[in-house]
Amino acid sequence: MRFAFTDEQLAFRDALRDLLTQECPPARVRDAWTNPDGRTGLWPALVEMGVVGLLAPASAGGLDGTEVDLVALLEETGRHAIAEPLVETAAVAIPLLRDAHDPRVADLAHGRIVATVAGRTDEFVVWADSCDLVIASDDSGVRMFARDAVTLEPRPAIDGARRLSWLGTDDTTGEAIGDADAAALVDDRGALGTAAQLLGLTERMIDMTVAYVRDRHQFGVPVGSFQAVKHHLANARLALEFARPLVYRAAVSIATLDPHRSAHVSAGKVQANEAAALAARVALQCHGAIGYTTEYDLHLFMKRAWALARAWGDTTTHRRRVGRAIL
Amino acid sequence: MRFAFTDEQLAFRDALRDLLTQECPPARVRDAWTNPDGRTGLWPALVEMGVVGLLAPASAGGLDGTEVDLVALLEETGRHAIAEPLVETAAVAIPLLRDAHDPRVADLAHGRIVATVAGRTDEFVVWADSCDLVIASDDSGVRMFARDAVTLEPRPAIDGARRLSWLGTDDTTGEAIGDADAAALVDDRGALGTAAQLLGLTERMIDMTVAYVRDRHQFGVPVGSFQAVKHHLANARLALEFARPLVYRAAVSIATLDPHRSAHVSAGKVQANEAAALAARVALQCHGAIGYTTEYDLHLFMKRAWALARAWGDTTTHRRRVGRAIL
Amino acid sequence: MDLSFTASEEAFRAECRAWLAANVPAEPLPSGDTAAGFAAHLEWERRLFDAGYAVVSWPPEYGGRGASLWEWLVFEEEYYRAGAPQRVTQNGIFLLAPTVFEFGTDEQRARILPAMAAATETWCQGWSEPNAGSDLAGIQSRGVRDDAAGGWRLFGQKTWTTRGAFCDRMFGLFRTDPSAERHRGLTYFLVDLRAPGVTVRPVERLDGDAGFAEVFLDDVFVADRDVLGAPNDGWSVAMATTGSERGLTLRSPGRFLATAARLIELFHSLADGTERAHDDALRDRITQAWIDAEAYRWQTFWTVTRLVDGARSGPEASLVKLFWSELDVRLHELALDLLGPHAELVDGELASWTKGYQFALSGPIYAGTNEIQRNVVAERLLGLPRK
Amino acid sequence: MDLSFTASEEAFRAECRAWLAANVPAEPLPSGDTAAGFAAHLEWERRLFDAGYAVVSWPPEYGGRGASLWEWLVFEEEYYRAGAPQRVTQNGIFLLAPTVFEFGTDEQRARILPAMAAATETWCQGWSEPNAGSDLAGIQSRGVRDDAAGGWRLFGQKTWTTRGAFCDRMFGLFRTDPSAERHRGLTYFLVDLRAPGVTVRPVERLDGDAGFAEVFLDDVFVADRDVLGAPNDGWSVAMATTGSERGLTLRSPGRFLATAARLIELFHSLADGTERAHDDALRDRITQAWIDAEAYRWQTFWTVTRLVDGARSGPEASLVKLFWSELDVRLHELALDLLGPHAELVDGELASWTKGYQFALSGPIYAGTNEIQRNVVAERLLGLPRK
């Protein structure tokens, strides 16, 4: 038993953190809201660093990495609220195409093309306008489409960077790329990646709030010296502490194709959803009115958290999935 | 619209409060645990004051009162945690016998006999050993038995004053005393009476805790000056504030035989259950270890609250009853 | 106890219901927190005024119809039940008017109240400042006496001024005696936002509307007739719990009853015929939200009975604020849980829930955070020591 | 990451499981918080010791078998899984022994630890006093130097001493330098409860068992060899987060996993074949409790990996205490909700849940209230200002 990242994994994560701290300040996330594609423009850097192609075979330009390597990186991208289809491409499409021995895995890993993915119960896809491939799954399997071969109807979302489209795929031009088991794995991978990003978002919201309440004074003392504020933030930290291990465990379960991986992923997504939802509430409440303006950065992280806590399966969906496995 | 007790109702309540403050200090509740009958010995005083016979006709020695009069009195008896089958006799049996034109209503009102009652879903009756009549109801109607005509199997309860018995009534010696509608009314009356007592218990637990945390010092200041303690107690007070009106409204609904009375009673019982459960948690937590001993009085009230919050229908039972009415 | 409305109250209810059914716009108005939406809402307010429903509980001479507190509650229930537009005049009507009734001169009442009722003059609140939020006594904006001109010159900055970008006038507290301590030395001013020296900067809220404003004051002249109450007595004037006899310190139960009813409709429209219709967890939560909305209604009736008997609002108001603000969040959270992935959308008819959720989140913050309200309950209702 | 146990750990698990299956009493022992039950539990503890399972992570010379932290976790999982008796020796093993390992002399270790492991000498904790609960530095009981006799004379009162009525000895803090401030001037003593001058008064707990005691000390002599650490240094000795290398500061996940498993069994036994089996609200809550127990397990594994790498426990321990204590309450509340009216009974086999609920309620109070723990998280982990 050794439940920790390796030094190499931590070094990779730290390098990504350094990159994103430099390249993805909140202003860049804010810009994504008004950029035509809703994205932060970080794709080339993520490709260059090997994040995008992490799970691709070395022969396809990837790093032959595992979900355990990836989960630490996705957590960082959540912390910085990057607006990129990274979960969709790096965590879902690449291993899907890799397992299907599809040569386009190299195009994805090299950043020549980008993919977005809808899980079995999703009606919407994100950032499809700027993607080349659209992958859609249902209970019978997974199909892949050229972007132009599907109907995309844009729908504005609460997180202005997340460009959602209603996805119409009645079209029969898609290629079958995976069977029912692959479709289940698509859901698990998407939920895992989202859960990891939620961990990073949760920590970021806590950190921003701690910094604010240390600085902000009312009644002659820092707001953060009030016990009610302390306890709000302690509760958010508590939720994070008991979400993280289940998300990491789920990463191992997917990497090792553990037969119980779906329940493990769902348990992790439940905890990550709940931690992020609580952190968002606490962050807004402890900030007060300033957190309620879009001039302040908190909303960028809060709205991403709201969106991701419902993406790839909300809390009830995942809790029930666990319930069916254990009851 | 006038949603308040009359001066007469308040004067009656205050007189009862004075009586119980004098006659039913916590020591008397404590004694009930070891008394052979588990009771506080207050029945003659309650008869004398007219509390027991409140709903009985004047011709039977009662006061021709309504549930609105009664609810204020039952709240007081909850505050003092009296251990008597008052809900069973005064709130349920007397109006049942009154409506059935049964002459024994006068015996009950005069305190010559005492009744206990099991609702439609109850398996246990309380204080049956010291009662003369045992009333049991099911979906088809209500039947009444002499105590000796039923099988009673004592079961020790968490509130040592509440003498519970498993009730066996396969016996066919019971008299039919009410139809299916009467059985429904038995449940509503029992739940209303219990809810009223829970309000009083809730307030008492809050009051005891406020007194304790004002007095108890740690770290050189009163424990009650800590914001976490303040907020715990404010939450309990909040729950009480929004439980009370629904219990009173339910009393009016029964008194006026409002067609929606069952939903009103259930809504009141839900709020009273939840307020009492929260107040018990908060009271124990704010007291700390001393509240965890039986030498201190809190446990007498807390255990009564736990018991009554499950008696005559727990929260889920009543919430679902409301749900079926509104959804 | 008598829990029925009188025949005349029921007649009033029927009249309100009929008028609202005939007049509430079929299509929701654009958000009142945008320039175009604000204008559309003002039109609605004026129709409401013309029909006599703008301020039902005010005396007729100021534009009301002298309705009783019970009638006011009936009107509010019907207003929300009809899905009628948000009241963009509410900060004047609910926050300023009670103070004008209690502390204003006859001249001020006659000048201010009818125009407010008719929505020809709209008001925003200038309480908060960058360093005075929960701690309102930290106000630093100041008023300097100008005897020659017969008034005061204001300097400073107000913030989180709801709809400040669209309103005509602002009521606010300014420090006029810099030597006085905290709560003392403040004066309650009525400021013309079109006056020279005023700069209003719209600030976007969570939901993307410019619902807030920052108001900068640089040597803004306010005449003596626009001081409410005595100079340096502004704190008492602002904090007096006034107007309860007109329902003006109450948050109408109609709002939450209507939200609960819409939530139940949403449940039926999304769940009926599916297995979610039998989802006990969902049903329990919706039921509890409905019970809570009912509890709020009956707690209000309980309070109103006391007010009718002549009681004044006290610290119990903090319990009320805690309850409605947290209930409103729960109601909207439930709706979003029902919507599932659609909760992410901000277009379409269901998006009102997403917007409503964001609005609900402000409830536990504004008008005294819920942390402060819990302190008030503990200290003033339960008697716990401040220190 | 490697989330599998080694072959030797698995073999150890199999060995523990087999021994427990063969030896755990078929009928639950009477409560260890009664005189008769305590004696019955001590018999069990001695069997455990004879089989080498009393203190698996201790070095062999003190009665252990030098098990690794992972093996300790495995043992604990199996112990709770088997439904084996509560450890009435735990306050010695978990609270005193780590301090003896770190601060004791060789003589003290040799004298104290083997007898503790063998359950021939039992220990209770003498921390709290009537005026020193959460604020432990408020201790007033005192120790007076007696040079002639080569020791100290103790005076005062200790309270909430768990199983103090049955134990042989007590470890506790006493004020030995009355001129020193609060945390200073305390000394850590080991007191023989049979010594002259000691009076032990049993105190009944919520569940009716005499699980607490008050200990009165009136001129009780304690020799120098029964001082742990240096005189006047008792606070540092008591507060050092010690023993983590033997798992002794961890609350075993096995306990909550076993409770969650029993809860699921209870659900099936009461609900299967009834409509409650499909009650989503109930199922959701049970599922979440199980997820939380799993989260606790994996958070522990995460922590243990760090400890194995040489880290020491820090303020994260407060998060752990918050989580397990509140989870334990939820697990038992759920069981009572399943039991319905039967939750009121204190006899019969299901009554263990009612008793367990009452015990669980002590979790958020003892060993530092959860309010204090949340302060620690906020101040020491998040860096919020104390004042």
SS (H, E, C) D185-218: CEEEEEEECCCCCEEEEEECECCCCCCEEEEEEE
Q: Residue D242: pLDDT band by 50, 70, 90 thresholds?
A: low
> At B284, phi and psi to the nearest 5?
-65, -45
How many C-beta neighbours within 10 Å does residue C224 have?
Answer: 12
pLDDT digits (tens, 9 = 90+) for C58-114: 999 999 999 999 999 999 999 999 999 999 999 999 889 999 999 999 999 999 999
Q: Does B285 touch chain D (CB under 8 A)?
A: yes
Asked whether D345 and B164 are in contact (CB, 8 A), the reply is yes
From C26, C59, C63, select the one nearest C45 (Cα to Cα).
C63
Contact A293 C206 (CB under 8 A): yes
CB-facing half-sphere around the CA of D357: CA atoms within 13 A: 22
Dist. CA B266–CA B244, nearest whole Å: 13
Mark out the alpha helices in chain D (DSSP H runs).
7-23, 35-50, 69-81, 90, 97-103, 106-117, 234-239, 253-271, 280-308, 316-339, 351-362, 370-376
* Torsion sign across C-alpha atoms A314, A318, A321, A327: negative
Alpha-carbon distance C117 to A47, whole Å? 62
Res A172 pLDDT > 80: no
Mean pLDDT, rounded, of chain D: 94
Give residue A122's pLDDT: 87
Candidate from C290, C295, C381 with C-beta closest to B245: C295
Tokens 């921003």 belong to which residue?
A: A208
Beta pairing partners, D132: D129
Residue A51's Cβ-side half-sphere holds a number of Cα atoms within 13 Å equal to 29
Closest CB from D299, D379, D387 relative to A242:
D299
In whole angstroms, what is the distance from residue B282 CA to residue B201 CA?
13
Distance CA D193, CA C185 (A): 66
Q: How far is A227 from chain B (nearest CA, A)?
A: 6
* Residue C245 a catalytic site member: yes
- Distances B61 to B105, B152, B266, C43 between C-alpha atoms, Å: 9, 31, 31, 66
Best residue of C183, C206, C279, C372 to probe chain A, by most A CBs closer than 10 Å: C206
Q: What percent of chain B has pLDDT over 70?
A: 99
Band (pLDDT 50/70/90 cuts) for residue B172 is low
* Distant-in-sequence, close-in-space partners of A154: CB < 8 Å, separation ≥ 6: A129, A163, A164, A165
Q: What is the reported pLDDT for D249? A: 66
User: Is the Cβ–Cβ distance between C63 and C54 less than 8 Å?
Assistant: yes
Within A24-169, where are the H helices?
A: 26-34, 43-49, 67-79, 86, 94-99, 104-109
pLDDT, chain B, mean: 97
Which pLDDT does position C248 carry in this prediction? 57
Which of B124, B217, B294 lies at the smallest CB-CB distance from D341?
B124
**Is the CB of residue D2 less than 8 Å from the CB of residue D61?**
no
Cβ of B217 under 8 Å from any chain A Cβ? Answer: no
Contacts of D287 in chain A (CB under 8 A): 319-320, 322-323, 326-327
Residue range D20-32: mean pLDDT, rounded: 95
- The DSSP secondary-structure symbol of D145 reads E
Closest CA of chain A from B273, distance in Å = 26
Indicate which of D201, D209, D332, D344 best probes the interface with B, i.e. most B CBs within 10 Å of its own CB. D344
Count other Cβ atoms within 10 Å, centred on residue C310: 7
Look at strands B141-146 and B175-178 and give their pairing.
antiparallel
Q: How many CB pairs under 8 A join A and D?
A: 141
Q: What is the pLDDT of residue C251?
A: 83
CA separation (Å) from C334 to B326, C267, C286, C289, C353?
16, 10, 7, 9, 10
One-character DSSP codes across C227-294 = EESSTTBHHHHHHS---GGGTTTSPPHHHHHHHHHHHHHHHHHHHTTSGGGG-HHHHHHHHHHHHHHH
Question: Taking each helix axis from N to C terminus, what angle separates B261-287 and B227-241, rounded to the nearest 10 degrees?
Answer: 160
- For chain C, helix (H) and strand (E) counts, in that order, are 12, 8
* Single-letter residue type at C32: G
pLDDT in tens, A249-276: 999 999 999 999 999 999 999 999 999 9
pTM, 2 dp: 0.97
Which residues of C touch chain D, with CB atoms under 8 Å apart? 279-282, 284
Mean pLDDT confidence for B204-233:
97
Q: Does any CB of chain A come closer than 8 Å to the CB of residue B58?
A: no
Give the one of A210, A230, A322 whose C-beta lies nearest to D375's C-beta. Answer: A230
**What whole-number percentage of chain D has pLDDT above 70?**
97
Distance from C-alpha of A323 to C-alpha of A129, rounded to nearest angstrom: 37
Q: What is the largest CA-CA distance in chain C?
A: 76
- Taking an 8 Å cut-off on Cβ atoms, the answer to whether D282 and C279 are in contact is no
Those residues with Cβ within 8 angstroms of residue B36's Cβ, 6 or more apart along the chain or in another chain: none
Nearest of B286, D377, D38 to residue A240 by alpha carbon: D377
A51 touches chain D (CB under 8 A): no
Q: What is the DSSP letter of D68?
A: -
For residue range B119-151, what is the model confidence (pLDDT) as tens digits?
Answer: 998 889 999 999 999 999 999 999 999 999 999
- What local confidence, expressed as pLDDT, does residue D182 receive? 79
Q: Above 0.85 for ipTM, yes or no?
A: yes
pLDDT confidence bin for D244, thresholds 50/70/90: low
Q: Is D355 exposed, middle or buried (0-12, 13-18, 19+ CB in 10 A)?
A: middle
Has residue A171 got a pLDDT over 70?
Answer: no
Q: How far apart are CA C57 and CA D4, in angstroms?
A: 72
Chain-chain contact of D344 with B219 (C-beta, under 8 angstroms): no
Q: What is the pLDDT of residue C249?
A: 66
Distance CA B17, CA B49 (A): 12
Block residue for tokens 């919407």: A124
Measure in Å the smallest separation between the Cα of B202 and chain D Cα atoms: 18
Neighbours of chain A (3+ CB pairs under 8 A): B, C, D
Q: DSSP secondary structure string, C177-191? A: -TTS-TTSSEEEEEE
pLDDT tens sequence across D194-224: 999 999 999 999 999 999 999 999 999 999 9
By C-alpha distance, the chain A residue nearest C358 is A292
Phi-psi region of D160 (alpha: psi -120 to 50; beta: other; left: phi over 0): left
A151-155 β-sheet, strand order: A124-126, A164-168, A151-155
Interface of C with B in 2-61 (CB under 8 A): 2-6, 9
Instruction: Answer whether D284 sits within 8 Å of C282, measured CB to CB.
Output: no
Report the C-alpha gap between B24 and B282 in whole angstroms: 24
For chain D, what's the residue count?
387
Confidence (pLDDT) at D245: 57
Q: What does DSSP say about strands C123-126 and C169-175: parallel, antiparallel, or unpaired?
A: parallel
Residues of D assigned a catalytic role: 245
CB distance C136 to A218 below 8 Å: no
* A50 torsion bin: left (phi>0), alpha (psi -120 to 50), beta (else): left
Whether C299 sits inside 8 A of B242 (CB atoms) is yes
Residues 6 or more apart whose Cβ sits within 8 Å of residue D106: none
Assigned token pair, B165: 């018995």
> Mean pLDDT for chain A?
97
Contact C302 B322 (CB under 8 A): no
State both tokens at A115. 């993919």
SS3 call for A144:
strand
Question: DSSP string of A185-217?
Answer: HHHHHHHHHHHHHHHHHHHHHHHHHHHHHHH-E
Whether A187 and chain C come into contact, CB under 8 Å, resolves to: no
Measured in degrees and rounded to the nearest 5, phi and psi for residue C35 equal: -60, -50
The residue of B213, B227, B230 whose CB has the most chain A CBs within 10 angstroms, and thus the best one to mutate to test that interface, is B227
Length, in residues, of chain B? 327
Distance in angstroms (rounded) separating the CA atoms of residues B289 and D102? 29
- Report residues of chain C scoring pLDDT below 70: 241-249
- Residue D320's region, left for phi above 0, alpha for psi from -120 to 50, else beta, is alpha
Give the residue from chain C lying closest to A312, CA to CA.
Answer: C341
Q: Find the mean pLDDT for residues B97-113.
A: 98
The C-alpha atoms of residue B137 and residue B117 are separated, in whole angstroms, by 8
Using a CB–CB cutoff of 8 Å, tell me whether D299 touches chain A.
Answer: yes
pLDDT at B20 over 90: yes
Query: Catalytic residue among C102, C245, C316, C379, which?
Result: C245
B108 is written with which tokens? Answer: 């009950």
Measured distance CA(D161)–CA(C158) in Å, rounded: 58
Q: What's the rounded Cα separation, in Å, for the pair A132 and B88?
A: 73
Chain pair B-C, CB pairs under 8 angstroms: 142
DSSP strand pairing (D123-126 vs D169-175): parallel
- The Cα–Cα gap between D196 and D153 comes to 11
D344: CB partners within 8 A, 6+ apart: B124, B157, B158, B159, B162, B164, B306, B307, B310, B311, D354
